[in-house]
Amino acid sequence: MNNLPAILFLLTTLLIGSIGTAQDSVWKRTDSDDPYLHRIPLRDSRGGVIDPSANNGSIPHLGKSCAPCHDVESASGGLHAGQGPDGRAGEPWILVDPRSATRMPLHRRKWPGLLSPPSMDLDQKKWGQEFGRHETGAGDESDCLVCHLASGYDFAKRIEQIDSGNTALAPFVAAGLVDTSGQLDPRRFDSTAQVELNLLGDAGSQACLRCHTVRNLDEQNDRRWLHQDDVHLAAGLSCVDCHRSGIDHHMVRGYEGEVHPSGTDVTTLSCRGCHLDEDGGLFGAPLAEHRGLPPFHLEEISCTACHAGPGPGRSHVAQWTSRAHRLGEASQDRLPGIPPRIIGAFLQRDDQQRISPVRLTWPDGWGVLEANGTITLLTPAQLRPLLRRALRVRSDLVEELSGQIEGENASSVLVKALKKLQEPLEDGREAILITGGRLWKVSDADELQSSASPAAEAVSWALSHPVRPARAALGAGGCNDCHSSTSSWLKDKVGPSSLLPLPGPGGIEGPSSPMESGIIDSSRWKIWSWLFLGRDAGKIYFSICALLAISGGLLGLWKMIQEESR
């Protein structure tokens, strides 16, 4: 009992200390829904405050400038930094090198059909030079401003700086704080050497669309911005209303079955979770009724198949994406036929075996078929000197050869290139070309031959936007949107292309449709289509019969009334 006062004192001290720790945080925050106006000093790489009047050549450092208030280490990770589970396959980065006729999809994540950056000799620096324009972590530090600066960010200047190798300056030049020579703009600083930045957790959808814009190329090469039709944006929502994250930046991707790294249940942030589950209904989202739609459709078909895939009367279409076609950069050379070729709104079975829309692209490249059947792709740096010597081209292999060879003449040219690649190889290893959805190599008779190969197959990723409202969705016009002879999107064929001319009409793998690929059961579809045709005729037939029966009944009733009146 003599120790009771000491024990009580110790417990009281620990309690007070724990309360103080809970209330005080290392990181500053307002805990208000009112956005905080950032008026902050810029700091250099050592954390020292930069004096714009000193003109001493100090270069701002984004991480050090944000670190006094934010957990920069945690914020530098997340989905865009390649952390967290790989999950469902997303859009790949596509390495395009016309000088070696290379067009290869790759990613840091281990998604099916994609190469890894090291396999193409891309270290962190080379990766940043090739793809940094559309990646937030192009340099050693993440670019917080590209996503969070609500106004005044010039994305085209960011691209210019990264292409010039000035990744450290890119955020500040794009924000107008520094000129291209690294000199601070004194007009942006107040009398206390601070700058005012409109930084927001949600800087609006335009911040996301810098890297996630998709443009449609129809038969007239219409370049409309596809996302303008998205029902969620039209309703006033922004991207991060559904694609949420915390300071760790593990963005919710919003597909069914997603496992979030935080352990948080994100079911209600998927299409079905928001519009079909009882716990959904975020932001007043309507409960989808699907009147007249047999329930098994919801088990066989994904939400995006009808609301984001091919619409009534539409078919597959060539598309541009920000990553693949450098959207956001002013250019006169971005013509409809530029590689890589991406096809949108094709249908495949997803991980849950539901019919879902995807985008497709096909690989092109040269490599080595090993004795054990595996394929090792050659990098553009390895290919350029060999192909230049073999084919006598100066720079752009695709452009120069496309103007020189065609038809059967292509066969001898490609044989010459493959034989040049074969020279340094040991026995059992064969030089190959992957293009047009086929694997090409030289036979023992020095003839070009092709065969099917998984390495030459299309790479696909889910198409989820733009989302169309119910009245514009597939099926809004009735069953005949799908079950009729005019449903071209089920039967229209899609196939690969090639960067190089290929010999003969069978050079490129033949195109196929969702029906021919076995994605849609053609027999069942045809039966139902005939039934729907018969149903329409039956409706007319039985309507006429009903009309005649009613007319006959009324006539009989009239005669009875006439007889009784006599």
Query: Which pLDDT tens digits describe the chain residue by residue (566 residues)?
Result: 455 544 444 444 443 344 333 334 678 888 888 889 999 999 999 999 999 888 787 889 999 999 999 998 888 888 888 888 999 999 999 999 998 999 999 999 999 999 999 999 999 889 988 999 998 875 567 899 999 999 999 999 999 999 988 888 999 999 999 998 888 999 999 999 999 999 999 999 999 999 999 988 864 544 454 445 789 998 999 999 999 999 999 999 999 999 999 899 999 999 999 999 888 888 888 889 898 888 888 999 999 999 998 777 677 889 999 999 999 988 888 888 889 999 998 989 998 899 999 999 999 999 999 999 999 999 999 999 998 888 887 778 888 777 666 655 788 888 999 999 999 999 899 999 999 999 999 998 888 899 999 999 999 999 999 999 988 888 888 887 887 776 777 778 889 989 888 876 556 777 888 877 778 777 777 776 676 666 666 678 778 888 888 988 888 888 888 777 76
Q: Report how far residue 231's alpha carbon sits from residue 214's, in angstroms, rounded to the nearest whole number.
A: 16
In residues, how long is the chain?
566
Verify cis geometry, omega within 30 degrees of 0, for the bond prior to 118.
no
pLDDT value at position 19?
Answer: 35
The DSSP bridge partners found for residue 451 are 439
Domain residue spans in the chain? 521-566
Residue 562 belongs to what H/E stretch?
helix 522-565
Q: How far is CA 251 from CA 33, 69, 84, 213, in A?
A: 20, 21, 10, 18
The separation between CA 504 and the C-alpha centre of its own chain, rounded to angstroms, equals: 34
CB atoms within 10 A of CB 201: 12
Token reading at 316 = 């597959």
Enumerate residues 6+ apart whose C-beta is below 8 A from 233. 205, 227, 466
- 153 backbone dihedrals φ, ψ, rounded to 5°: -100, 120
The 8-class DSSP code of residue 503 comes to S
Backbone angles phi, psi at 45, to 5 degrees: -65, -15
Q: Give burial (CB, 10 Å; 0-12/13-18/19+) of 408.
A: exposed
CA-CA distances (angstroms) from residue 522 to 303, 324, 491, 517?
A: 21, 34, 10, 10
At residue 355, φ and ψ (nearest 5 deg) are -70, 125
Predicted structure pTM score: 0.86
Going by the DSSP 8-state scheme, the letter that residue 557 receives in this structure is H
- Of the chain, the end-to-end C-alpha distance in Å amounts to 118
Angle, CA of 404, 365 and 358, to the nearest 5°: 110
DSSP 199: B
Sign of torsion over alpha carbons 97, 99, 101, 102:
negative
Rg over CA atoms, the chain: 31
**Residue pair 293/307 in contact by the 8 Å Cβ criterion:** no
> What is the per-residue pLDDT for 65?
93
